[in-house]
Structures are given as C-alpha cells and as structure tokens.
Amino acid sequence: MKLFWKKKFAWVNLFYGEPALALILAFQIRQKSRFPLIFLCPEQVPTEVEAALSKLGASVRRVEPIRLEYKAGDDVWNFRYHLTLAKLHAWKLTEFDQIGIIDSDIIFRDSLDRLPELPKAAELSACLIKDGPAAGRFNSGVMCARPNVGTYKRLIEFAHHGRYSKKLPDQNLLGEFWRTTGLLCDLPEEFNERRPERYGDASIYHFAGPKPWVAHHRKVLSHILPDWDRMVSEVKAELTTAGFDSDRLLSSIRTVEFIELEDRQAQFAASLGVRPK
C-alpha cells in the first residue's frame, strides 16, 4: 500500500449563505467519500441549517471574513465573490495533511477518494484552463492543497498587497500566487469537468456555466438532470424524515430564490458605490 493513503484528508467548502447546495454537497460526500467535510463559514449560519448539515455528516467552522478594500474602477465581476477569500482559512487546517477545496456547484459521478489518492508534487493542484481568455490559469472549483500556516500568512499578505484581478478574487489570487512560485500543477480534467457534453467522462462535474437550478439553463443540461433531480429528491426525503423543513432548506435552488440572491448582490454592490460589469 502506498504511503499517501495514510495521509489525513478532508474536503473543505466555503459556505456563504446558500444552504441547498451545501446540503447537497454534504449528502454526496457522505455517500461517496470516507473523508470528512468541513464548511468554512465567514457569516453566521442559521441553527437549522447547521443542524441539517451535521445530520448529513458535515461540520461547520466559523471563520473571520477576509475583506478586501475595493475601489471604484476595480475589475469586479460579481459581488458575492467578495466572501470567497475566506477560503484561505483552509490553509490553517493543519490537522490534515491534505485538503480538497471544492465548490458546491458540483456533482460527483463516482467514488471521490481517487482524488486524495493521486500523488501530487505541488503545494496546490488544480485543473488548468486550456482555452478562452483565461487559458493558462486554473479553475478553483476543485483544488488539492497542503495546509500550512506559513503559506496561509503569505497568502493573506498577497491578498492585501499582491497584484491580481479581483474579478474572481480567490481564483485569481491563488493563480498569481502560485504562478510566480511555479508550484501549481495539473489535476486531470475529469476532476473538474465544466463542459456539459463531457459529463459522461467526468468524476467531478462542475456547473461552472449553466446550473440545473436555474430554470432557463436546464435545457442544455437535459442529460444531467435525471442524476441531479434524483439526488435533490433523496436529500429532501432524508431531511424530511429527520424532521427538517426540507422545502425551506432547499428552496434556494429554485429560480425565484436566485432572483433574491441577485438582489442581495446588487445591494452589496450599491453599498460599495460601484457597479458590477
């Protein structure tokens, strides 16, 4: 047996106010991985949501938000991304040798534990973006990293003083940070497949473009919907059986709730006095 099997591993997700996807993620990881899932939470998590997440086997850790100073004219795309830098707290989880930092807009096709098993030479492993304007960068939806407090401190320093685009702050920060030290390596694309037509070949499919919970996106995802919808109803059934108000907990994956999310983003944008592009 290879040595890296012995390493302690945890999945880490940044929870910022979207219970439905977090619950679906927890459900999938409990089903498809033997490793724990930790939610890093830069905001208060409602008691009911925390109870439901722990019912599905995940744990919740409160972390301080990492706030950037935005200025008018900053290259900003979507204001909900301002919270994503709290992801950097994952580098402080030194009780684990390795962590898998994952988005919640993903669906796992098979056992997840091939990912922790992969030997990794780099401090941070992710899938490179091969084409389009971001070619040569990487997608932060699925990353493997080694927690290290020294790295965490350097990342925080870079977050405040380094040069990177704040359009997708966490992804661009990590990409720039590791590009200059040359430590980023390539994960096989099957662990972060973002092309719907390649869904069948993926171990992890990432809804980076069209989302199955957005009504007008569903058409292009028709081949994925049976798996997705089945999983949502399984999560719902389990939560209902356990006495939770599953309709309410899962309501945000309905289109109407996303409209509210857009409103919250717009309010945040307005509070900063800048407009997203």
- Which positions lie near Mn ion, rule CB under 5 A? 103, 105, 141
Q: In the complex with Mn ion, which residue's Cβ is closer, 16 or 244? A: 16
Minimum distance from residue 219 beta carbon to Mn ion (Å): 20
18: left (phi over 0), alpha (psi -120 to 50) or beta: beta
Q: Environment class of residue 175 by beta-carbon count within 10 Å: exposed (0-12), middle (13-18) or buried (19+)?
A: buried
Q: In the complex with Mn ion, which residue's Cβ is closer, 58 or 239? A: 58
Which residue, judged by CB position, is nearest to Mn ion in the bound state? 103
Minimum distance from residue 13 beta carbon to Mn ion (Å): 11
CA dist 190 → 13, 143, 157, 208, 223 (Å): 19, 13, 33, 14, 17
Q: In the complex with Mn ion, which residue's Cβ is closer, 116 or 141? A: 141
Q: In the complex with Mn ion, which residue's Cβ is closer, 97 or 210? A: 210
Token pair, residue 263, equals 């409103």
Q: What span, in angstroms and rounded, lies between the C-alpha atoms of 14 and 149?
A: 18
Q: The tokens 């292009």 sit on which residue?
A: 220
Return the amino acid letter for 116: P
Minimum distance from residue 129 beta carbon to Mn ion (Å): 13
Minimum distance from residue 106 beta carbon to Mn ion (Å): 7
CA dist 191 → 127, 132, 184, 213 (Å): 8, 19, 16, 21
Q: In the complex with Mn ion, which residue's Cβ is closer, 50 or 103? A: 103
Minimum distance from residue 109 beta carbon to Mn ion (Å): 16
